[in-house]
Chains A and B, each alone.
Chain A
Amino acid sequence: MTNPPYTPSVNPLARLLEGADGVVERLKAHAANQAAHRADARAEVEPYHPRKLELTVTELIDETSTTKTLRLRRTAGGSLPPFRAGQYLSLDVQVGDVRTNRAFSISSSPTRRDHYDLTVRRLPGGLVSNYLLDEVSIGDRFTSGGPMGTFTHDPLFHGDDLLFLAGGSGVAPAMSMIREIVELGLPRRMTLLYGSRRSDDIIFQDELEAIERQHPNIVVHHILAQADPGWTGAVKPLNAPLIVKLAGPLTGRMTYVCGPAYKYPYLVGELESLGLPGRRIRMEANYVAKSPPDTPDWPSGVDPTGAVTVSVRGGKSFQMPRGRELIYALEENGMPPAASCRSGECGDCRVKVCSGEVVHAEEARLRTSDRRFGYAHSCVAYPLTDIEVDFQPGNYF
């Protein structure tokens, strides 16, 4: 079937304007010559920003007594999406009845697109880290979001002289950055000050040593919590004098900090005392630094262990202690919201607080209007009173 030629629907007002006939002719020509409109815009962006990845564990590498690296490849084979060194994956996991997810920095180099390495350290009592270390075997499958996060080197203003303070598994993003620098021969210097508990718990020790020997632009110093017998290196605390002694003057350098979040306030204080402005310190917010009742906004006299009732609109009600992040309780009750960073940054876990009051951890990066109009980031929100919340489980971006 052929349609009659296109005639634009011209408003009568146009007929009074000079040049209207010419416009009509141009439109007719466009309709005849131009191609159909293209496919769905979101689908076109998929190779850059996949919504979900299907991954298979192809190797498990023992790093230390507390840590393993999970090597993940695309289940269907082929290249994984590009990422920037320092970014993380949000891995979906089901442990028992609980559907949840956790963020893990990619420790492999962004030059390798055939696999992502996640380097997981045991958190005593932790749900997911213990599961990944003890229960996962080669061939197991996972889904995850695409690589995310802004804890990366920005050539626009970070410069080429870099300092990285890492603690424990916080070395994972540093490792990815260092691997990229040496593999591509980038003109960047990086000094890594890396804190570990014991000398047999230093992740990537051999590889870092080998890199340091061959690449003068990479300098690594280890700091232990306590000196083991035979340890000749530095020992905690990583204070201002020790930082200068190991890393030299800080002027003009960009400093990255990744490790246990409760140490950040101390480390930032030490760095600032050395004259480093706050804008030259970048932290991976990997967990709340101060839990209730130490959360800065926690009202005095309120008991964090006291129970409150949470009702989910269109779902069920349950009780939970005030001082726990709301998202954990939602997941345990079978109503997981979407989540990626689980540290207050990405906003995926946003819920509406229809009634009652919540308080946020300092890490929460809420939009001004979300505070004003009553929304919460459930991964860093604590219910102070009985609350009603409303949300739809996410479909991911």
Chain B
Amino acid sequence: MSTHYDVIVIGSGLGGLAAATTLQRGGRQTLLLERHSVPGGAATSFVRGRFEFEVSLHQLGGMGGHGPLRAVLDELDVTRRLEWLEDRDLCRTFVPGEVDVRLPHDWSGLADVLDGLSPGNRPQIVRFLEIVRETGLWQLTARVNLHRIPEQLEWLKTLPDVRRYALRTFREVLDEFFTDERLKLVLSSYWSYNGQLPHRIAFMDMARLLTLYVETRPYQVVGGGQALSSALVESFEEAGGELRLNTEVVQILTDGGSAAGVRLENGDTVGAKLVVSNAPSTTTYTRLLDDPGVVPAHVLQGLRARRPGASATCLFLGVDASPKELGFTAATTFLSANLDEQSVLRGANSLTEPCPFLIVTCYDVQPTGFAPKGCTQVVLSAIQYAEPWESLAPEEYAAAKASYAESQLDLAETLVPGLRDAIEEAELATPLTFKRYTNQPGGAIYGFDQDITDSWLFHDEDLRQNVPGLLLTSNWTTAGGYNSNLVTASRRCQGLLARGQ
């Protein structure tokens, strides 16, 4: 091998960036390799005309108060490089003619709003939110303290509600507490941030999402996800790290059963004591390794037990009108066509159903710097799997895009009448678009399909080094999302440094 580094990181998504920056700043000479021409993976943006568009970041969790993400970004010397905005609310939840509430980011305010929506349920609401909070805090804490298992076991024994509810579906627990479907829908507002509807998501995962956003408040960053990626790169390079863009790794080379380096698209080989892969686990274990025989059988079987998760269909709109003119007061609105969860499920797997659900994000209630003055960036995101898009013939693709965008816009206009007339730029990204740009199987935006069986509690191998010299850090080894990816990757690398590896 022509050159040698202490560490090679494959992929500059958030998982790769956090690992590379932590290791380089810990004194390990690190080479970061990225196939795309920009770093960041999904944490990126693109420009059309006078507008820039945010690809992935709707709401950043973990930044407020003593948030875990803020701690990591402080340690990586990144926080000070960026300008942060705290959302004024948690979100607005809207169902035409049925529900229109703005949720505040504190527990008692939340109980007030829910009580106002469905009077007469106050005691159940308060009790439910207490269990959500307890379960959420338990999971957020347990997940980063897995090196202290005996202590964690003792603590969990003292939490009977967590033990009782954690592994139920969120829907089951809702049904146990409430009958009002509107209340259930509002409590489920955040389901789309892990891509699983209430009848599939574990109670503990929905509790984690809600608790993270209430306790640390949703944030935006000026310049968007790409600014965060670029700030990580700057810190990495200042510490002496080397980033090569436009450089695809085609193989991970092994030597005596250990990862020892990589082969690049141009044939060059580079050696390293540690290879970190930010590529999906499935890709890393089954396609990239020169000798798949080095992967233990139970790890490969474990991959088969899981499926790629949801992708998204996002309509990016540059709108020639101000948020005020459009009537936006909240950065994030969860918009459902009706109260029927089954129609949302069908919509996630079909292009013929009218779009039933959207995350409507307005990035200019407090401007993130992407739209010209007096204008607005609006992104309409539907959670969808890749299959319906994959089954189209290439020549059917453009027409299918046009018609699905139409359906998304029709639904959005129930919230923002007149939106169509003010559009200046429009671009639709489908699951195939996510596949193309991030190389994620199925265009998955959060890694594996995160139903109950996908919980980290049943996949201890995700956080182990299953092949000597090879570490995986991505969506596919931790829950999807900025906070969990960055925090998990950085903490795991700190662990390696502490053990002197």
Contacts and interface: CB of A to CB of B under 8 A. Distances in A.
B231 interface: yes
Interface in B392-448: 394-395, 397-398, 402, 405-406, 409, 420-424, 426-427, 432, 435-443
Contact of A277 (B163, B230, B320, B398): B320
Contact of A34 (B52, B247, B305, B461): B305
A49 interface: yes
A157 B52 contact: no
Contacts of A30: 304-306, 453
Given A40-B283, A42-B436, A392-B246, A6 B406 contact: no
A370 B52 CA distance: 12
A3 B457 CA distance: 23
10 contacts: A6-B302, A8-B305, A16-B153, A81-B394, A82-B394, A157-B426, A350-B38, A367-B38, A368-B370, A369-B227
Given A30-B453, A45-B435, 12 more contacts: A8-B302, A9-B460, A18-B167, A41-B439, A154-B402, A157-B421, A279-B423, A368-B224, A369-B230, A369-B231, A370-B230, A391-B245
Contacts of B405: 156
A222 interface: no
Contact of A41 (B227, B230, B441): B441
A10 B305 contact: no
Contact of B248 (A4, A393, A395): A395
Given A14-B458, A38-B441, A156 B47 contact: no
Interface in A24-67: 24, 26-28, 30-31, 34-42, 44-45, 47-49
Contacts of B152: 13
B245 A18 contact: no
A392 B245 contact: yes
Contacts of B301: 3, 6, 31
Contacts of B166: 17-18
A79 to B, nearest CB: 9
B157 interface: yes
B246 A44 contact: no
B245 A42 contact: no
Interface in B216-244: 222-224, 226-227, 229-231, 233-234, 244
A9 B461 contact: yes
Nearest to A279: B424
Contacts of A34: 304-305, 307
Interface of B: 35-38, 45-49, 52, 142, 146, 149, 152-153, 156-157, 162-168, 222-224, 226-227, 229-231, 233-234, 244-248, 265, 282-283, 286-287, 297-298, 301-308, 320, 369-370, 390, 394-395, 397-398, 402, 405-406, 409, 420-424, 426-427, 432, 435-443, 452-453, 455-461, 464
Contacts of B426: 154, 156-157
Contacts of A154: 402, 426
Given A8-B459, A16-B163, A44 B437 contact: no
A10 B460 contact: yes
Assign chain A's interface to a size class.
Answer: 35 or more
A322 interface: no
Most buried by B among A37, A81, A82, A368: A37
A23 B37 CA distance: 41
A156 B402 contact: yes
Nearest to B45: A367
Contacts of B227: 368-369, 372-373
A157 B427 CA distance: 11
Contacts of B302: 6, 8-9, 31
Contact of A13 (B47, B49, B457): B457
A301 interface: no
Nearest to B390: A44
Nearest to B247: A392
A250 B36 CA distance: 42
Contact of B230 (A156, A338, A373): A373
Nearest to A42: B439
A139 interface: no
Contacts of B443: 41
A171 to B, nearest CB: 22
Contacts of B464: 9
A3 B439 contact: no
Contacts of B395: 82, 113
A393 B283 CA distance: 25
A17 B461 contact: no
A371 B286 CA distance: 39
Contacts of B458: 8-11, 14, 20, 23-24, 27
Contacts of A19: 167-168
A394 B38 CA distance: 11
Interface string A257-289: 000000000000000000001110000000000
Contact of B231 (A4, A13, A156, A373): A373
A131 interface: no
Contacts of A150: 48, 427
Contacts of B164: 18
B439 A40 contact: yes
Nearest to A84: B398
Contact of B35 (A279, A366, A395): A395
A325 interface: no
A12 B149 contact: yes
A348 interface: yes
Interface in A85-118: 113
A265 to B, nearest CB: 15
Contacts of B286: 36-37
A347 interface: yes
Contacts of A365: 47-49
Contacts of A24: 458
B418 to A, nearest CB: 12
Contacts of B307: 34
Interface in A218-274: none
Contacts of A300: none
A155 interface: yes
Contact of A366 (B47, B246, B297): B47
B37 A397 contact: yes
A7 interface: yes
A42 B250 CA distance: 13
Given A11-B460, A157-B420, A395-B246, A41 B440 contact: yes
B246 A394 contact: yes
A49 B452 contact: no
B163 A18 contact: yes
A367 B44 CA distance: 9
A31 B305 contact: yes
A386 B248 CA distance: 31
Given A6-B305, A41-B435, A154-B426, A17 B457 contact: yes
Contacts of A279: 320, 422-424
Contact of B456 (A11, A26, A40): A11
A31 B304 contact: yes
Contacts of A16: 153, 156-157, 163
Most buried by B among A34, A348, A368, A397: A368
